[in-house]
Structure 1
Amino acid sequence: MSSLSNLPQIEFVSTDVGEIEANIITVYEGISGRKLAPGDPVRLFLQAIAAIIAQQRVLINYAAKQNLLMYAEGAYLDHIGALVRTERLPAKAAQTTLRFTISPPQPQAVIIPAGIRATPDGQVFFATVQATTVPAGATQIDVVAECTTPGTIGNGWQVGQINKLVDPLPWVQKVENITVSSGGVDEEDDDSYRERIRQAPESFSVAGPEEGYKYWAKSAHQSIIDVSVTSPAPGQIEIRPLLENGQIPGQEILDAVAGVCNDKRIRPLTDQVVVLAPEVVSYNIDLTYYIAQANAAIAASIQEAVNKAVEDYVAWQRAKLGRDINPSELIARVMAAGAKRVNVISPVFTSIAPHQIAIAGTVSVQYGGLEDD
């Protein structure tokens, strides 16, 4: 299936004010039989009309383009998705595990109801997902809790930070999270949604095509940006998702992808689908760069730009599965940042398989000083 980026840019109507103005004046002069001087009040009036028509044509262009997948956005894109039974993925709430401590131990079971809230700061709240019973004599129980506000706001609370009980319970002495809160994602953005809509026709096949598995895997979680689908043996399918910013998915997301792709309405009967994390190929960066003597006055800003270029390269390298480790790309970025010469000791070119991802280990960027041109 071709990429949308390969399609030509289109305009349904011209929005060139000069062209519109010339056409209006030409028509008027043909009808009236007289030429309009540059300062003629009629010309000025027609120029104002031309400006209004140009603005209307901009709106016409925008409205027409909202019928095309490449340009549609927001609610218009949702309507296009509905045509291929592909809905935008909603925001999901972060989850964590809360540990409730009972004191003193009770001779009877203590119930922790669903919906009991705890907070780290009085602004973000986590509520227990289901009711749990602390057995008689026990002092602790672990319960899954979900942020009451969907989205990324609930992510990243470290162990022990969610420690204020909002809804008091008898015998509960303290509460705290024993896992870092994670899994919260915002509503799927237009670019990710557009790509899934593009791939949607692949899901109509009952033969288990590669693009079809990619489509269904991405539909499991909106943080999935890339998917590798390989078949190491007949009937065996390995699916490896990659998350935003090149993050390796945890078991929760792997299970979510497996749940979707193993659905009997999706998976061909003879396929054995396994969902795994991408295989990490580690590499180190060790380079020395030099700045031209002529640029000595801006050497400090060039050094900052070089460091930023290396950071961008590291992010670029891990943003896609199967992307080869390419030192030429690294050199090009550092040179574009203003370096005169770059000596790269590592990495060396390394071919990366489709199910692998290259992630930087140690990064050493040395400034070698100024050199004559």
Structure 2
Amino acid sequence: MAQLVELPDIKFVEDDANKVFLEMVAVFQGFTGRTLNRADPEMLALRAFAQLIIQQRVLINKVAKGELLRYAKGIVLDYLGDPETPRLQAEPAITTERFTLSIPLVTPQIIPAGTRIAPEGAEGSILFATKTAATIPAGVTTADVLIECLTPGVIGNGFLPGQLTTLIDPLPFVASVTNQTTTAGGADTEDDDSYRERIRMAPESFSTAGPEEGYEYWAKSASAAIVDVAAVSESPGEVTVVPLLEGGQIPTQAVLDAVAAKVNGRRIRPLTDRVTVQAPEAAPYDIDLTYYIDSDRAAELAVIQSAVDAAVEAYKLWQRSKLGRDVNPSELIWRVMSAGSLRVAVRAPMFMDVSQLQVAQEANVNVVFGGLADD
């Protein structure tokens, strides 16, 4: 990720109220040859006009800053990225669904494209469907088919294996359906911060030499669900690209295939590079801590406990949301202390190095309230 240069806040026109008012008074006195006193009616009129001018100048500054990449938002950011770097649109979650027949058939069984499946109890609020038609050969009872959520976005993520079991469109001889993997890959429309970073990285994509940020740019362009990418070369001509999904999820094979197709494009990959796309390796760590609350804040006990739980959850998300982020107990202590605890005794985690191709993921979590304590 490119590091931003520290720059002062920018103003295109002066919008300080006192300065604008004094400038107007000076101009008026210069034209009229009069010296105005504070109680003069002209002073009141000039102050009223100054307020209108200040509002216009504030608007000018806002609009002008919005045309700079660092400050641009919404549709203005889309114009800055057009046409080389369009904003990534919402994408559906995907998984592999297994169709099982009641008996082997003597003729092939067709599973049409668009066959709908839902999680049990969803009552039609969320549906998945087969992306393409599939065939169960004669004498075979099962077939695995790629399905995608009909509602793009993160809403389709997180259904565990065995939860998509309701066949909405009945098929003859199909006895059951079930997903084989956790649904993943769904992403909402790319937010401004992620989009701004991709636009900033776009010049790296113009190189035909295979720069690190070039591979990162193209990998992120494969899916709006990708929040981080590592591109490393441990030997000449060999490049490994590792994507990480939003929320620290390990990418599915379908996402890895999409990234591989993108970075191996004929106009993207240098002919001398052999590019491999793989999922990050999980680096497990435990959380085991006891926290105490100041006895003077006993009345806030429930609120602080809830804040501590939220702080631990935020830490887990922070830790797994970036490749190569070392496990840092100081960050955990800071978050729990900021939530209102008096002191924290952390038994785990210890500081742990995480390589660029790994992502830290929590394993066992044990957060204990140790009671009230005095300073």
What range is the shorter-chain TM-score in? Answer: 0.7 to 0.9
Per-residue CA distance 1:233-273 (angstroms, 9 max, x = gap): 22221111111121111111111111111223212222221
- How far did 1:156 drift? 4.2
Specify every segment of 5 or more residues in structure 1 that has no aligned partner in the other structure, as ranges: none
Q: Distance in 2 between matches of 1:152 and 1:302?
A: 30
Instruction: Indicate conservation of the 8 Å contact 2:2/2:201, yes or no.
Output: no
- Aligned with 2:190: secondary structure? coil
- Aligned with 2:369: secondary structure? strand
- How far did 1:220 drift? 1.1
Of 331, 349, 352, which residue of structure 1 is paired with 2:351?
A: 349
Per-residue CA distance 1:117-147 (angstroms, 9 max, x = gap): 4555334444433334555677665543433
- Aligned with 2:262: secondary structure? helix
Change (3 A) 1:288 1:123: closer
Q: Distance in 2 between matches of 1:208 and 1:2?
A: 16
Instruction: Indicate conservation of the 8 Å contact 1:118/1:175, yes or no.
Output: no
Change (3 A) 1:276 1:21: same
2:89 counterpart letter in structure 1: P
Change (3 A) 1:38 1:164: farther
- Aligned with 1:4: secondary structure? coil
1:90 counterpart letter in structure 2: Q
Q: Distance in 1 between matches of 2:45 and 2:116?
A: 66
- How far did 1:326 drift? 1.7
Change (3 A) 1:213 1:336: same
Q: Count the aligned residue pairs.
A: 370
1:281 alignment partner in structure 2: 283
- How far did 1:61 drift? 1.5
- How far did 1:112 drift? 4.2
Single out whichever of 128-137 and 14-23 deviates more from structure 2.
128-137
Q: Distance in 2 between matches of 1:2 and 1:138?
A: 53
Q: How does 1:270-349 map to 2 (within 5 A)?
A: 270-349=272-351
Establish whether residue 54 from structure 1 lines up as the match of residue 57 from structure 2.
no
Establish whether residue 163 from structure 1 lines up as the match of residue 162 from structure 2.
no
1:17 alignment partner in structure 2: 17
Change (3 A) 1:32 1:77: same
Quote the sequence identity (%).
53
- Aligned with 1:6: secondary structure? coil
- How far did 1:219 drift? 0.9
Single out whichever of 173-182 and 239-248 deviates more from structure 2.
173-182
1:88 alignment partner in structure 2: 87
- How far did 1:199 drift? 0.7
Q: Distance in 1 between matches of 2:354 and 2:111?
A: 49
- How far did 1:195 drift? 0.5
- Aligned with 1:287: secondary structure? strand
- How far did 1:36 drift? 4.2
- How far did 1:107 drift? 6.6
Instruction: Indicate conservation of the 8 Å contact 2:92/2:149, yes or no.
Output: yes
Instruction: Indicate conservation of the 8 Å contact 1:156/1:181, yes or no.
Output: yes
2:21 counterpart letter in structure 1: E
Establish whether residue 114 from structure 1 lines up as the match of residue 116 from structure 2.
no
Q: Distance in 1 between matches of 2:80 and 2:280?
A: 32
2:94 counterpart letter in structure 1: Q
Instruction: Indicate conservation of the 8 Å contact 1:100/1:176, yes or no.
Output: yes
2:237 alignment partner in structure 1: 235
Q: Distance in 2 between matches of 1:280 and 1:310?
A: 19
Specify every segment of 5 or more residues in structure 2 that has no aligned partner in the other structure, as ranges: none
2:27 alignment partner in structure 1: 27
- How far did 1:196 drift? 0.6
Q: How does 1:32-51 map to 2 (within 5 A)?
A: 32-38=32-38, 40-51=40-51
TM-score when scaled to structure 1?
0.86
1:206 alignment partner in structure 2: 208
Per-residue CA distance 1:282-317 (angstroms, 9 max, x = gap): 111222233334334434433333333222222222
Establish whether residue 249 from structure 1 lines up as the match of residue 251 from structure 2.
yes
Q: Distance in 2 between matches of 1:73 and 1:304?
A: 34
Change (3 A) 1:314 1:160: closer
Change (3 A) 1:21 1:298: same
- How far did 1:357 drift? 1.6
Q: Distance in 2 between matches of 1:131 and 1:24?
A: 74
2:179 alignment partner in structure 1: 178
Q: Distance in 2 between matches of 1:107 and 1:292?
A: 74
TM-score when scaled to structure 2?
0.86
Instruction: Indicate conservation of the 8 Å contact 2:117/2:164, yes or no.
Output: no
Per-residue CA distance 1:85-128 (angstroms, 9 max, x = gap): 11111222233455667789877655444344455533444443
Q: Distance in 2 between matches of 1:314 and 1:12?
A: 42
Establish whether residue 72 from structure 1 lines up as the match of residue 72 from structure 2.
yes
1:3 alignment partner in structure 2: 3
Change (3 A) 1:80 1:282: same
- Aligned with 1:363: secondary structure? strand
Q: Distance in 2 between matches of 1:281 and 1:73?
A: 36
Instruction: Indicate conservation of the 8 Å contact 2:248/2:322, yes or no.
Output: yes
Instruction: Indicate conservation of the 8 Å contact 1:199/1:211, yes or no.
Output: yes
